[in-house]
Amino acid sequence: MDKAKKSMITAQVVIVGGGIIGTAVARELSRYELDVLLIEAEAEVGWGTTKANSGIVHGGFHEEPGTLKAKYCFSGNQMYPKLCEELDVCFEQNGIMMVARTPHEMETVRLYYKRGKERGVNVQLFSQEEVARQEPNLDPKIVGALFAPEGGAVMPFELAAALMENAIQNGVKYKMNTTVIDAWREGDKKYLETPEQIIRADYVVNAAGLFSDDLARMFGDDYFSIRPRKGEEYIFDLSVKDVVKSTIFPVPGKISKGILVIPTAAGNLMMGPTGDNVEEKEDLGTSQDGFNRVFEGAKRLVPSLDARKIIAQFAGVRAASDRGDFIVELSPNVPGLLHLAGIESPGLTAAPAIAADVPGLLEEAGLQLEEKQSFNPRRAGVVRFNSLSREEQDALVKKNPSFGRIICRCESITEGEIVDAIHRGARTLDGIKFRVRAGAGRCQGGFCQPLITQILSRELDIPVTAVTKAGPGSEQVRYVAKELYDEEVR
């Protein structure tokens, strides 16, 4: 469509990108009397780099002193307990352990210990015996470790969805399936062109993740680039439990934190990620080679891991910048354009702290901030049937019978939870899976997918053939039975 023919909408602040950064910023800005619009290219929020994140809330001892990563990681970590409590999302503060396999590696561990101490991180040094006592399934060759009890785990997708939900509750508007195809500035105003519309904004927050450099370039900012780096992760069955209590890190390599063994907040054990520079920003393929490296790395930490218990794998692409650090700054060339780019690890941990700085940065650029009296930091809690006692489950079903229908048998997820997720914004099978874990279990949706397809069709009032796995183009079933046969006969 011609630019001139497109309708125009306006907003004071437009956030481009609904990943963990965009959603955290949306919630933060919803504290003020502002007209905020978040646009996201995918069908739901949290679907880019966020959904493939390991879910670790880092301790804050890894990062080089003086970097933005160090600053935001530590302060982000400190914000997590309250944030997760307000949003009613799962936060397991199960600690982080960095282990040394040799006395030489132990020297490095001691450096991280010192680094953490200086920063105020709660860190402890463990002897071989202490490691063995706390984590008996680790390789007995491990000589010692650094333990950060305030590290933890969240479900990144759940968090992004919750942040968005709370932001919407507090007045933020949103548009999904909305890609920016062009962007420019005229005077004080910034313009974002989508396939259908033109959006005029006073301020633009660039939280476009992997595509943040593309958006910057559309505005004429050509001073940073995203270097996509892929990570593959492998998930074990829920029955593989109590293998490790904390997330186990090796001594890090030059560019990444290495292959980890991660007890996820969802309860599954996970191993990964790889860290491979890739050409394509959307290269989400997993590989045999990636698996081999992950498994080898993970077995160096936990030798008893059994590959036959793996139920799923996925890959995500980190939006690393060529600067090697986060980019959190107002554009030097375009007034009112704020770049939040290059947010690779520990971006999830850092997200609340980065977001907390955004109102101030925009104020610096001229935005008037007036606190919203009606701001409610709490999201209405989500019912998790399988975490209730039998008596509570009984009472819940008596109140709402749809909680008595188990749809996902592997994870005991009820129809009530699925319908609630749809009412909270889930639009796709993946969206349901990421939000409530229906289909995330050992059968990988084999049994419940057809049922959830029906529920989505019913609740969204769309044909079954329009229900998608992950947005337009990914329809789950394409044809009505016999439709093709009839075509052929005619």
Partner 1 sequence: MKKVHVDVAVIGGGPAGLAAALAARSEGAEKVLIIERNTELGGILQQCIHHGFGLHRFKEELTGPEYAQRFVNLVKDTDIDVLLETMVLEVTPERKIYAVNSENGMLEITAKAVVLAMGCRERTRGALRIPGGRPAGVYSAGTAQRYVNIDGYLPGKRAVILGSGDIGLIMARRFTLEGAKVEAVVEVLPYAAGLTRNVVQCLEDFDIPLYLQSTVIEIHGTKRVEGVTIAQVDADWNPIPGTERKIECDTLLLSVGLVPENELSSQAGVAIDSITNGPIVDDSMMTSVSGIFACGNVLHVHDLVDNVSKESERAGRYAGRFALGTNNSVPRRVKVQAGNNIRYVVPHEVSSTEPVEFFMRVQRPEDDVVLDVGGLRRIRKASVRPSEMLDVKITPEQLQNLEGDTLIMQIIPQKEA
List residues binding partner 1 (CB under 8 A): 234-235, 239, 282, 284-288, 290-291, 308, 310-314, 390-391, 393-395, 397-398, 401-406, 409-410, 412, 442-447, 449-450, 453-454, 464-465, 468-488
Q: Is 51 helix (H, G, I), strand (E, B) or coil?
A: helix
**What is the amino acid identity at position 205?**
V
Cβ-based nearer residue to partner 1, 186 or 391: 391
Q: Is 58 a catalytic residue?
A: yes
Instruction: Answer yes or no: are the C-beta atoms of 310 and 240 closer than 8 Å.
Output: no
Instruction: Answer yes or no: are the C-beta atoms of 322 and 227 closer than 8 Å.
Output: yes
Cβ-based nearer residue to partner 1, 166 or 468: 468
CB of 150 to partner 1, least distance (A): 32
Residue closest to 406 by CA, chosen among 396, 418, 398, 394: 418
Q: Which of 58, 104, 339, 423 is catalytic?
A: 58
Instruction: Answer yes or no: are the C-beta atoms of 28 and 358 closer than 8 Å.
Output: yes
The CA-CA-CA angle for residues 438, 473, 348, to 5°, reads 55
Cβ-based nearer residue to partner 1, 67 or 393: 393
Count of other CB atoms within 10 angstroms of residue 256: 18
Residue found by looking up tokens 């399936």 in the block:
177
Q: Tell me the C-alpha distance between 53 and 46, whole Å.
A: 10
Alpha-carbon separation of residue 171 from 43, 154, 266, 277, 435 (angstroms): 20, 25, 30, 39, 22
CB of 405 to partner 1, least distance (A): 5
Q: Is 320 helix (H, G, I), strand (E, B) or coil?
A: strand
CB of 418 to partner 1, least distance (A): 14
Count of other CB atoms within 10 angstroms of residue 364: 10
Instruction: Answer yes or no: are the C-beta atoms of 15 and 37 closer than 8 Å.
Output: yes
Adjacent-strand bridge partners of 36: 13
Cβ-based nearer residue to partner 1, 64 or 394: 394
CB of 128 to partner 1, least distance (A): 33
CB of 411 to partner 1, least distance (A): 11
Cβ-based nearer residue to partner 1, 370 or 486: 486
CB of 406 to partner 1, least distance (A): 4
Cβ-based nearer residue to partner 1, 24 or 418: 418
- Strands 189-193, 310-321: pairing is unpaired
Residue closest to 294 by CA, chosen among 278, 308, 273: 273
Q: Report, as residue numbers or ranges, the catalytic residues.
A: 58
